[in-house]
Structure 1
């Protein structure tokens, strides 16, 4: 089909090996390539499609981390989070139990930490060029992956949507019809069992199919303990009817199954149709969080047999006392809400709250189908159609405080379906000119049906169901032109016009379907949809936007490419999806960014050293931030805080100093500052104004200021006995801002502490290279660190909790190719 653009470089021999050492010490790596044949000029060619056509990674004026399936395997990586850990200024993290099977995703400080479908992710995730619209279920297993491309910086003109921070693209191995395949089995720590397999076969001369699957199980690593059983004199009754062991279950387990089928039909040398389908089932215990701190809870409805919430319920590094429900009670307000001020709102005293119950299980089921059709209309014109449909549903339960004290329990159900269609017309009207014209359509329908039993609020009872539907639609047209002005100079210009809309309808209901009078008194009195009611109210958001990108690259030598670019992007707006009264229907505008980037790409010393770098400055308007204080209490809203400047540096390295020795790594730095004169008075930051939300976003959210990683492996040939390859991977991340904490100071902030990890892998491969036996150890030093944190002390929730990473684990894997 389309041809790879050949690299405009040969070999360059101007740096000394001393320079290699200096670069390796001052930077760090991120490249994925098998480089055993040093003399082969094409050995380092990684083909990517970021600019709508197949190009060499080193010829694109864009910061990209491209990782092949071979390097993913060498690093013992099995999911998206692990790949993101090696990319500069990229953070993908699993969320705690309160957010279900979802992730936080951020590139260069732009992203999202809330799975609610009313929010836009800010980082576009694509599976074989089909957009995945949610953060739920986004810790993808790297099942039979050909490569992963991580594009940093706004991709508004190059990808479907929601890529203001960047885009992550998965590309599956396509069928070739060569009757090949593999089978892989793993056993490891805590009864870890893993099975992977793939088969590639030809059905006819022009029809091939590839089927792959994965099965993974592992016991959890955080003990859920029955507090009353372990502390029989505490006054809190045990729920362990069987007695004996007080450990009820192991949280943070794995129970994952996936199947993918891809069929490729090439009826002629000008037509290629690829159809794929996949199915995922993820059933496991919820994320294993631990309690870090507690605070005062003013409501008198939370104590268990008179025992209040306190630090006595802090369990340890890998355990908690969470429960799976809350008893029915007669709600009583905290009469004295301020010195001398007493309240009994809406006659709430004596209101009966129903008992709530659930499980400690998280369930996710998803599937999708897609079709990619390419037609070579003539020698200089190609038409591409990309059609995709995806659907998932998930169910999870949360005891937010992780104790037997009854502050907050939730039952959560989320369904989502989406459809997308993209058309591209690629033209090469003359040598050195590549034009892409296209159109894009996307629609999504979600229902987030949540039942909340919140008892830490002293003003009125909060026990309600919120089956809120959200629908979204986006349409776009785009154009991109690449012009090789000379053999050395290339200019790329792209534009995209987007028109998008979103509707969310709110319901705040009792269990019997009637309107809840405490959250929605107007709706309870006058009916759903009545003026001023929350229930039946539909918040509408719409916006249109013209984004552009201009990039210029210059080939200074065969080995060195420099580039500069300016691009724009945006993250869509909307309305607060979690209002606790009608006054909290607070809209927020799109977050807009203009990004400036200067970078270089180099292949030096006979292609033994690849060294890429970039410096960027992102100028933001209407930065979106979460707040936990707004009209009424509690609150979980978004505000446009104002404008901000984010700047950073990224370096990537890959080297083969001698045959068989591979070194790869990366280092990055990022800094964010709010523009003082731009602050929104509604969400102003001290000392510049009042701060209702306790927010100080002077740190980039969901990404650490510093990241570094370094990997080394050496393939030792053993003749007829095959080869043995040891590998070590080092990762460092600085502390990471996760949100406000006003429990101590108005400008308090919450962070994840810094951490350093070391992973190792030893692989023996037979002489025919069709049998591998690998021993891996992850987190060799048994570093204790956190992946996410949820702090509601400032909001009166009474808890600060975190999700610890997995302790040291080992696994033995056998893989047979055929």
Structure 2
């Protein structure tokens, strides 16, 4: 059989989601989780699969939409250019280019090295596979939490097409067009164009509405059947994003109301920004896949290239209050090349895979932080009040502001939020005395004193004289609203080499033993440049990044890491349709470099992550395949977990830590075909995580409250429930009416590593979709609603704004309604 015919057969097999029921029959689901086509019920890995039909029924437009309905998985693309993926509580919170993600995202077999290049429109896909637990053997480095594989539809040797238009509130207008045609007996072409457009749902009082969508992409794939035994598949995609996204807003009443007199802060109402948040991306990706049959062995070569340029602009204080102005710009330029050679073979008792892989990534990144001089005033108050044990701060506050000492003592230990609520009154006392600007002066004087001798900065060691020196410089600049801008340039070249092998031996007709090993070697070079870019009272000075006493830093660093990853799996088929398995697997994530903090007490690189996962599970179909039920229980231990945390006084800055952690839990998934027209499906996950050791890489700034040993990891709820109900109503010769209701409930969870007491409340979401499916399926019309009951919840908090007294948040999209119109045509 020609390979393109096998492609067509695989595409025709219904890949109904094991997470949610998809059709009025529970049919076979084909996946390639083990680098070969298999029924998902025979794969001894915990895996959730979404095919194109299920993606449509969930009204899912990106991976985050799928993550909401996947047990043990959380995804967040509030920033499409800095998305996070968490599987079983394993994720990376570092958004800098010095580190790698902990969940590997693949697109058609090619690793998407950076999150900024991973988020794509889910259109004309064959399926999305979400593999849970370390996948280091077959998917390689940076799959310690798991792997997500997006697989697009291949060309077929038939003429067919599909046009889809979606309209809805918030000005939604989406379009998709796919056309597939054979160019000859041996060549087939598939083309796709996608446009996503929607207005922002955050009404902005001072600029364009935020959290909009505006992206376009085109994809082409060419299949060439060279011979009966060889095929070549070429894919290419270009996408462009230009949208007011990634917006956050202040959650502090005084910050919002101080700049908007007469208005009260409503976290679910209007926002006000003085800097326009924006996401821009140009991306090109291509891959060349060659498959050649050599009898019982198949050779596969996959060559991949991905390149993107991005610009992320953010209002980090989330307000239009000039006293809290804090903005950032983060442009990226990334190129990634990969080559994999793989051999797969099978006999009656042995299935095996062996291969080699190489990749090279180059990254260029610029992080710019922009303040106003007036921000220093607010920043100073946050830090002085929160750290009132400083003798200089006490003297300043008690003498110049006229506050009794007992009031100052009472302020010690306040949180950022509490300090922010107190600040306006104390600042007003200074203004009433004509001393506005003295807070910043005292703050800067203390800061410079911490950095070295004051004489080194040309300032008097006498507190009052030094304060006056700074005040003479700072005061007029605060009044004039001068800018304060700092930046860090970083670039890296990362190369990775790997050899791997994996084999499954059929010990008996019912018992299989699988073992695999992979050796990975990473060689990384990292350059960083920054310098003091501002002056106060004639002294070079840095606020955001440069708090370790170095006026200029121009460093070139390099390091290597290598590790073995492996797995051992025993599975037993109790019957032809019920299987149980036990496995142990390890994963490896390369070490990296500290991108945003440096100095004499800061290590430039940090150790690699390693995880070992123990799992037992069962997959089964019952009652003539009308019921499917899967269960998995797991326990993992994590070594050298890489965590990014704000640390340091008087100005907190980002430090990377290595920590140890563990987690354990249970995941259940099931589908029940109640009648030929009614089906129920769902899943449940229970997860417990905690830090078992928490060590800071930097020697400076360590305090007892920074030790999070025993605390849960952030980002994943302990309990999560998903349910889906589908009903097909026959309409005689006309066709069917499909009604689908999806529901998800998420338990509360810790959200911030910087404040473990800060939690996201439990919340639930519901989607509804009603589709008219005429006989022949040439066209269909669907009406849908996401977040049906208009649940209001803030799911992410912003640490950057919190550092200057303006805690920010993101909220989930409100209820949205719309309609889809689909037309299919064939030759």
TM bucket, shorter chain: 0.7 to 0.9
Q: Give the direction of change, closer, same or farther, for the CA distance of 1:212–1:521 in structure 2 (3 Å limit).
A: closer
Which one of 500, 503, 506 corresponds to residue 484 of structure 1? 506
Alpha carbons 1:213, 1:259 under 8 Å: kept: yes
Q: Which residue of the partner structure matches residue 671 of structure 1?
A: 688
2:636 and 2:129 map into 1 onto residues whose CA distance is: 21
How far residue 448 of structure 1 moved from its aligned partner, in angstroms, is 1.1
Task: From 647, 666, 673, give the equivalent of 1:656.
Answer: 673
- Structure-2 change in CA distance of 1:654 and 1:309 (3 Å): same
* Match of residue 51 from structure 1: 34
- 1:493 aligned onto 2:515: yes
The answer to whether structure 1 residue 805 and structure 2 residue 812 are counterparts is yes
> Partner of 1:416 in structure 2?
334
Task: Give the distance between the partners of 1:559 and 1:410, measured in 2 at CA.
Answer: 55
Quote the offset at 1:315 in angstroms.
4.7
In structure 1, distance between residues paired with 2:267 and 2:751: 22
- Would you say 1:726 and 2:739 are equivalent positions? yes
Any gaps of 5 or more consecutive residues in structure 1?
7-28, 227-247, 297-302, 325-358, 526-530, 743-747
Query: Is the Cα–Cα contact under 8 Å of residues 291 and 315 in structure 1 kept in the other structure?
Result: no
Which shows bigger deviation, 199-208 or 307-316?
307-316
**Is residue 450 of structure 1 aligned with residue 463 of structure 2?**
no
- Counterpart of 1:566? 584
Contact 1:682 1:692 (C-alpha < 8 Å) held by counterparts:
no
Partner secondary structure for residue 611 of structure 1: strand
How far apart in 1 are the matches of 2:635 and 2:771? Answer: 42
1:293-312 equivalence runs, <5 A: 293=252
Deviations 1:638-660 (A, max 9, x none): 1113x322001001111211102
Question: Which has the larger share of helix?
Answer: 2
Question: Retained in 2: the 8 A contact 1:611–1:652?
Answer: yes
Report the Cα offset of residue 390 of structure 1: 0.3
Preserved CA contact (<8 Å) 2:747 2:762: yes
Q: Which residue of 2 aligns with 1:790?
A: 798
Question: For the residues of structure 2 that align with 1:410 and 1:522, how far apart are their CA atoms?
Answer: 13
Contact map agreement 2:211 2:247 (CA 8 A) in 1: yes
Matched residues in 1 for 2:263 and 2:804: separation? 17
| Contact kept in structure 2, 1:259 and 1:278, CA below 8 Å | yes
Aligned CA distance change for structure 1 residues 664 and 80 (closer, same or farther; 3 Å)? same
Larger mean CA deviation between 47-56 and 586-595 belongs to: 586-595
1:401 is paired with a residue whose SS is coil
Structure 2 residue aligned with 1:628: 646
Of 730, 734, 752, the residue aligned with 1:739 is 752
* Cα distance in 2 between the residues matched to 1:787 and 1:521: 26
Q: Could you give the per-residue CA deviations for residues 488-527 of structure 1, whole angstroms, max 9, x where no partner exists?
A: 0011100000001222211114679xxx9434999999xx
Say if 1:210 and 1:364 are closer, same or farther in 2 by CA, change over 3 A. Answer: same
TM-superposed deviation, 1:120: 1.2
Q: 2:721 aligns with which of 685, 708, 717?
A: 708
Q: Tell me which of 518, 536, 551 is aligned to 2:541.
A: 518
Secondary structure of 1:158 counterpart: helix
SS in structure 1 of the partner of residue 704 of structure 2: coil
Identify the residue that residue 340 of structure 1 maps to in structure 2: none
Residues 607 and 260 from structure 1, CA distance in 2 versus in 1: closer, same or farther, beyond 3 angstroms?
same
Question: Structure 1 residues 741, 438: closer, same or farther in 2, change over 3 A?
Answer: closer
1:540 partner SS: strand
Distance 1:193 1:554, change over 3 A: same
**1:224·1:249 contact (CA, 8 Å) conserved in 2?**
yes
Q: Is residue 639 of structure 1 aligned with residue 557 of structure 2?
A: no
User: SS state of the match for residue 636, structure 1?
Assistant: strand
CA distance in 1, matches of 2:544, 2:144: 39
**1:472 corresponds to 2:494:** yes
**Equivalent residue number for residue 403 of structure 2:** none
Structure 1, residues 387-416: CA drift from partner, whole Å, max 9, x if none?
100011111222211222244221221111
Greater mean deviation of Cα atoms: 105-114 or 549-558: 105-114
Change (3 A) 1:388 1:160: farther
Asked if 1:285 is matched to 2:223, the reply is no
Cα distance in 2 between the residues matched to 1:491 and 1:295:
63
Q: 1:84 corresponds to which residue? A: 67
* Mapped pair 1:363 → 2:363: no
Q: Is this contact kept in 2: 1:629–1:692, CA < 8 A?
A: no
- Residue pair 1:33, 1:68 contacting (<8 A) in 2 also: no
Aligned-residue RMSD, C-alpha: 3.1
Alpha-carbon distance in structure 2 between the residues aligned to 1:559 and 1:522? 59
Matched, 1:194 2:174: yes
**Are positions 1:434 and 2:351 aligned together?**
yes
Counterparts of 1:386 and 1:791, CA distance in 2: 40
Asked if the contact 2:678/2:725 (under 8 Å) is kept, the reply is: yes
The range that moved more, 400-409 or 249-258, is 400-409
Work out the CA distance in 2 between the residues paired with 1:472 and 1:681.
25
1:754 aligns to 2:798 (yes or no) = no
* Aligned partner (choices 665, 669, 680) of residue 695 of structure 2: 680
Q: Of 232, 256, 259, which residue of structure 1 is paired with 2:215? A: 256
Superposition pairs for residues 39-188 of structure 1, below 5 Å? 44-96=27-79, 101-188=81-168
Partner of 1:425: 343
TM-score by length of 2: 0.80
Question: 3-state DSSP class of the match of 1:142?
Answer: coil
Q: For the residues of structure 2 that align with 1:498 and 1:535, how far apart are their CA atoms?
A: 32
Closer, same or farther: CA 679–365 of 1 in aligned 2, 3 Å = closer
Kindly indicate whether the alpha-carbon contact (under 8 Å) linking 1:81 and 1:93 is maintained by their aligned counterparts in 2: yes
Is the contact between residue 386 and residue 421 of structure 1 (CA under 8 Å) also seen in structure 2? yes
1:376 equivalenced with 2:260 (yes/no) = no
**Aligned partners of 1:706 and 1:257: how far apart in 2?**
36
Structure 2: unaligned runs, 5 residues or longer:
10-16, 381-442, 448-482
Going from structure 1 to structure 2, the CA distance change for 1:493 and 1:788 (only over 3 Å counts) comes to same
Match for residue 31 of structure 1? 19
CA distance in 1, matches of 2:509, 2:698: 52
Distance in 1, matches of 2:262 and 2:500, equals: 56
CA distance in 1, matches of 2:36, 2:267: 52
Measure the CA separation in 1 of the matches of 2:547 and 2:807: 34
Give SS of 1:545's match.
strand
Partners of 2:532 and 2:546 within 8 A in 1: no
Instruction: Tell me by how many angstroms 1:717 deviates.
Output: 1.2
Q: Which residue is 1:766 aligned to?
A: 774
Q: Is the 8 A contact 1:33 1:46 kept in 2?
A: no
Secondary structure of 1:618's partner? strand
Query: How has the CA–CA distance of structure 1 residues 391 and 787 changed in structure 2, closer, same or farther, with 3 Å as cutoff?
Result: farther
Q: Work out whether residues 371 and 386 of structure 1, in 8 Å CA contact, stay in contact via their aligned partners in 2.
A: yes
Q: Structure 1 pair 271/487, CA: closer, same or farther in 2 (3 Å)?
A: same
Residue in 1 that maps onto 2:272: 321
Matched residue, 2:201: 221
Q: Is the 8 A contact 2:540 2:551 kept in 1?
A: no
Q: Which of 528, 532, 538 lines up with 1:506 in the alignment?
A: 528
Q: Could you give the per-residue CA deviations for residues 774-798 of structure 1, whole angstroms, max 9, x where no partner exists?
A: 000111111001342213576x421
Q: Equivalents in 1 of 2:670, 2:189: separation in Å?
A: 36
Q: Distance in 2 between matches of 1:210 and 1:273?
A: 14
Residue 617 of structure 1, CA deviation: 0.2
Secondary structure at the counterpart of residue 95 of structure 2: coil
